């Protein structure tokens, strides 16, 4: 059977937009996030998925950009100016905390930007430990750091519970994992 | 004196246990009150290499193992113990980047298989692995999963440019 041109076009359109198991692709970041053809790397999402942090080049230096994922609106991060290159951004649930690596004092350092109090909190590491990657827990209670020592990578986890106020995760104890039949 | 300052060869040669204990004691608290999770960190140190950590509330996903034999591991922080991930790791695949949701239920993974990279979503309770196509075609490098497990952000290389693809998951 031959397909009419309109039916064929419709099938192609459906095929282009659909992914298996109901996964939906958000329209191109070029259009929504307003970066044109600019390169962006190392994405991080707030726990609720509302905010997107990513790295873009500004004056040739890697700089973290924080945006509302849906509107593309950019949030200012004044405390991070002049501390590029930035790397490995990580966000808490509501995006109150942004953990990342910055360049300070001639070395790469771990900092946490508390956007609620407008403070930049450094996490000093011992001796010649060099941080490579970070991951902040959604509630801000823990930070995992990939460290390089003697050319070997290892991961250490820090409890920040006595240092940071928690960024509340709604229903974290009562909620149910999406798409699963039971709580793990 | 810092813990690192004590790590001379002599100290370790004479009393390695004492030096390690003292080092851990002095390093137990950083200036700002951040405290290393000693038990978990020691357990992680038993693996030759650990990299690319991803935290989801009580869960830590890492890529670890010996060079060329790396696997994704998922550890529950409160119990300090890894949980099995049947069907996720393959001996012929090299994990590249991993992320986990706050329940430790969904893991998103970029892995290299026969020289090609692919993006997969793993559901732990179902032990199911789902391949997510990259469209338009590109090479995935790094990913992030929102803690609620609903949004996936993937850095994809296309034509010499890095872009971020955003996917909403049901």
Partner residue facing A142 (CB), from B30, B77, B153 = B77
How far apart are the CA of A9 and the nearest CA of chain B, in angstroms? 18
> What is the per-residue DSSP string for A18-84?
--GGG-EEPP-HHHHS--TT--EEEEEE-TTS-EEEEEEEETTEEEEEEEETTT-PEEP-GGGTT-P
**Boundaries of CATH 2.120.10.30 in chain B?**
48-168
> C-alpha distances in angstroms, A61 versus A81, A100, B92, B102?
11, 15, 37, 32
- Chain B residues touching A126 at Cβ < 8 A: 2-4, 27, 30
- Number of independent structural domains in chain A: 1
Q: What percent of chain B has pLDDT over 70?
A: 81
Q: Identify any residues that bridge with B99 across adjacent strands, giving them in sequence order.
A: B108
CA nearest neighbour of A46 among A109, A115, A138? A138
Q: How far is B18 from chain A (nearest CA, A)?
A: 19
Which of A75-79, A111-115, B30-34, B157-161 has the weakest average pLDDT?
A: B30-34
Provide the residue-wise pLDDT of chain A in tens; the chain has 184 residues.
444 545 444 444 444 455 766 888 876 545 566 666 688 999 999 999 999 999 999 989 999 999 999 999 999 999 999 999 999 999 999 999 999 999 998 889 999 999 999 999 999 887 778 999 999 999 999 999 999 988 889 999 999 998 899 998 887 554 445 444 433 3
pLDDT for the residue A4 = 52
From the list B4, B55, B144, the residue facing A45 with the nearest CB is B144
Secondary structure (DSSP) of B63-99: EEEETTEEEEEEEETTTTEEE--TTT--TTEEEEEEE
User: Own/partner pairs for B44-49, CB < 8 Å, 24+ apart?
Assistant: B44/A154, B44/A155, B44/A156, B44/A157, B44/B75, B45/A154, B47/A154, B47/B73, B48/A152, B49/A152, B49/A153, B49/A154
Residue range A144-172, pLDDT digits in tens: 999 998 888 999 999 999 889 999 888 75
Nearest-Cα distance to chain A for B46, in Å, is 10
For chain A, first and last CA: distance in Å? 49
* Domain of residue A92, CATH code: 2.120.10.30
What superfamily in CATH does domain B48-168 come from? TolB, C-terminal domain (2.120.10.30)
Which of B137, B129, B169, B135 is closest to B152 using CA atoms? B169
Handedness of CA B101, B105, B108, B112 (dihedral sign): positive
Domain membership of residue A32 as a residue range: 25-159
Peptide bond into B136 cis (omega under 30): yes
Q: Which residues contact B42 (CB under 8 A, 6 or more apart)?
A: none
Phi-psi region of A105 (alpha: psi -120 to 50; beta: other; left: phi over 0): left
* pLDDT greater at residue B76 or residue A151: B76
Q: Is residue A150 part of a domain?
A: yes
DSSP annotation string for A97-136: EEEEEEEETTEEEEEEEETTTTEEEEE---TT-EEEEEEE
pLDDT band with cut points at 50, 70 and 90 for residue B20: very low
Contact between B144 and B119 (Cβ < 8 Å): no
Contact residues on chain A for B5, CB-CB shorter than 8 A: 127
* B116-152 confidence digits (pLDDT tens): 999 999 999 999 999 999 999 999 999 999 999 999 9
B62–A155: do the CB atoms touch at under 8 Å? yes
Contact across the interface for B32 and A154, Cβ inside 8 Å:
no
């Amino acid at each position: 059977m031959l397909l009419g041109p309109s039916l064929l076009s419709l099938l192609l359109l459906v095929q282009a937009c659909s992914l298996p198991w109901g996964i939906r692709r958000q329209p191109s970041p070029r259009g929504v996030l307003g970066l044109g053809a600019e390169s962006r790397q190392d994405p991080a999402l707030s726990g609720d998925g509302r905010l997107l942090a990513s790295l873009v080049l500004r004056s040739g230096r890697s700089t973290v950009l924080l945006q509302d994922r849906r509107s593309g609106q950019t949030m200012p991060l004044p405390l991070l100016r002049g501390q590029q290159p930035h790397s490995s951004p990580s966000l808490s649930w509501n995006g109150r905390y942004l953990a990342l690596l910055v360049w300070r004092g001639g070395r790469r350092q771990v900092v946490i930007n508390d956007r609620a109090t407008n403070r930049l909190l450094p996490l000093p590491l011992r001796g010649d430990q060099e941080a490579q990657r970070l991951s902040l827990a959604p509630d801000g209670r823990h930070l995992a750091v990939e460290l390089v020592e003697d050319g070997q990578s290892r991961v250490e986890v820090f409890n920040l519970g006595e240092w940071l106020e928690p960024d509340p995760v709604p229903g974290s104890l009562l909620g149910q994992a999406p798409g699963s039949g039971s709580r793990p | 004196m810092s813990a690192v300052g004590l790590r001379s060869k002599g100290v370790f040669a004479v009393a390695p246990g004492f030096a390690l204990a003292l080092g851990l004691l002095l390093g137990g608290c950083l200036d700002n009150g951040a405290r290393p999770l000693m038990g978990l960190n020691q357990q992680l140190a038993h693996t030759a290499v650990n990299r690319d950590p991803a935290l989801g509330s009580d869960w830590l996903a890492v890529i670890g193992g010996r060079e060329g034999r790396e696997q994704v591991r998922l550890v529950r922080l409160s119990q300090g113990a890894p949980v099995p991930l049947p069907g996720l790791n393959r001996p012929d695949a090299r994990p590249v980047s991993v992320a986990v949701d706050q329940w430790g239920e969904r893991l998103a993974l970029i892995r290299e298989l026969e020289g090609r990279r692919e993006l997969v979503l793993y559901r732990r309770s179902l032990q199911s692995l789902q391949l997510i196509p990259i469209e338009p075609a590109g090479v995935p490098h790094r990913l992030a999963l929102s803690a609620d497990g609903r949004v996936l952000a993937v850095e994809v290389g296309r034509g010499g440019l890095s872009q971020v693809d955003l996917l909403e998951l049901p």
